[in-house]
Amino acid sequence: MNRLDPLIEGYLDYKQDVNKLAPGTVRDIRCSLKRVLKQTHRLRPDVPLWQLAFEDFLRYVALEREAQASPTCINKYLTHARGLLEYAWRSGRCDRNVLSGFYLQDAEQRAPPRSLTLDEARTLVAACPRHTAEERRDRTMVLLLYGCGLRTHELCGLNVQHVSAERRELSVLTAKGDKPRVVPVPDAVVTELLAYLHERGGRRGPLFRTAAKQRRLANKDVADVVRRAVARAGLAQDIKPKTLRHSYATHLMDRGVDLGVIASLMGHRSPQETGVYLHVLPSRRENAVTTLDPGEKS
């Protein structure tokens, strides 16, 4: 790993040791700062980040837009740079944090994620046969992606011992941000999951293995399983494993499940991350308002 400026390394150590951020989050901050450094070096090669003027960062944003970076990504880079500048200011390395309060407005305009309708979800599951052991494995994977809202790498990271038959739940330990969680398994999925476990035998280790070399499945293997299932079902080819995860959240939202509960089940850091699924019922806010009776006495 290439070491950055001592001040930046001190900031990263501070985020991990004092703020207690997860290692994965600190790595993300490091990557963002390296990205910002690379771009700003083109503008002011001999000036450290904390000495750049606000106008320099405006030019930096223009460079990112030219590179086709999304507003959400640019805002993330700016957020991490803002944190460094705040640290540098408090350390006496600069007069002020020029990025204080600066955000891109269009970064909040996120498009709703692709999700399946209920009929499409049923069609996809129905297109997963269970005649052979490999087919039953693939079907179980699709059921868990949709029925538990797992990320692809979370599914790949599951071990046999992470499944609790008694409590009917999964322990997801390879979660994003190093924040493990427990996810209940729906009744419709439990039956087939337990049948798969029984057929697999009592051996510990990866829950899902390749048929040939018996190694743990990788993200690409999961993508191939979903791609084949989508083709058999005759559905749109833009359906990926993450589409099943988005569908899980969308259908929970459609059933009126609390946003905070969905955030917990999805492994989001806050309900705000889950807010992108509010597109499910466009009239929900209007309907909520119509339940108010201005003439009702308290």
pLDDT digits (tens, 9 = 90+) for 23-36: 888 999 999 999 99
User: What is Dmax (Cα atoms) for the chain?
Assistant: 70
Check: CB of residue 255 under 8 Å from CB of residue 242.
Answer: no
Dihedral sign from CA coordinates of 174, 162, 171, 22: negative
Q: Mean pLDDT across the stretch 51-56?
A: 93
DSSP per-residue string spanning 53-122: -HHHHHHHHHHHHHTT--HHHHHHHHHHHHHHHHHHHHTTSSS--TTTT---GGGG-PPPPP---HHHHH
Distance CA 233, CA 222 (A): 17
pLDDT in tens, 94-119: 999 999 888 777 655 556 778 999 99
Tell me what pLDDT residue 125 has.
96
Q: Which residue has the higher pLDDT, 105 or 159?
A: 159
Residue 148: both structure tokens together: 């538990």
In CATH terms, the superfamily for domain 118-281 is Intergrase catalytic core (1.10.443.10)
Average pLDDT of the segment spanning 245-262: 86
Q: How confident is the model at residue 291 (pLDDT cuts 50, 70, 90)?
A: very low
The H or E element that residue 164 is part of is strand 163-164
What is the reported pLDDT for 262?
A: 85
Most confident stretch, 22-26, 92-96, 278-282: 92-96
First-to-final CA distance of the chain: 63
d(CA 60, CA 77) in angstroms, rounded, equals 11
Sheet-wide strand order for 163-164: 163-164, 169-172, 181-184
- 285 against 155, higher pLDDT: 155
CB 121 within 8 A of CB 208: no
Task: Summarize pLDDT for 73-90 with one digit per residue, the tens.
Answer: 898 999 999 999 999 999
Q: Are 193 and 141 in contact (CB under 8 A)?
A: no
Q: What is the pLDDT of residue 276?
A: 64
234 vs 266, more confident: 234
Higher pLDDT, 91 or 290: 91
Q: How confident is the model at residue 287 (pLDDT cuts 50, 70, 90)?
A: very low
By C-alpha distance, which of 123, 110, 138 is closest to 236?
123
**6 vs 288, which has greater pLDDT?**
6
| Fold exhibited by the domain 6-108 | DNA polymerase; domain 1 (1.10.150)
3-state secondary structure 75-92: HHHHHHHHHHHHHHHHCC
Question: What pLDDT score does 1 carry?
Answer: 56
Residues of the chain with pLDDT > 90: what percent?
64
Write out pLDDT tens, residues 117-153. Answer: 999 999 999 999 999 999 999 999 999 999 999 999 9
Find out whether 238 and 247 touch, Cβ atoms under 8 Å. Answer: no
DSSP H helix total and E strand total for the chain: 13, 3
- Any idea which residue has 């179980």 for tokens? 140
Of 91, 88, 81, the C-alpha closest to 29 is 81
- Residue ranges covered by each domain of the chain: 6-108, 118-281
Mean pLDDT, rounded, for 212-239: 94
pLDDT at position 96:
92
The predicted model gives 269-291 an average pLDDT of 54
CB-based burial label for 290 (10 Å; 0-12, 13-18, 19+): exposed
The larger pLDDT score, comparing residue 34 to residue 293, is at: 34
Judge whether residue 298 has pLDDT over 90. Answer: no
| Average pLDDT, rounded, for the chain | 86
Task: For residue 163, list its beta bridge partners.
Answer: 170
The kind and range of the H/E element at 284 are helix 284-290
For position 219, what pLDDT does the model report?
94
Amino acid letter at 228? R
For tokens 């209940």, name the residue.
184
* Three-class DSSP labels, 180-247: CEEEECCHHHHHHHHHHHHHHCCCCCECCECCCCCCECCHHHHHHHHHHHHHHHCCCCCCCHHHHHHH
**Does 269 score more than 90 pLDDT?**
no
- In this prediction, residue 155 carries a pLDDT of 95
Identify which of 148, 130, 228 has the alpha carbon closest to the alpha carbon of residue 188.
Answer: 148
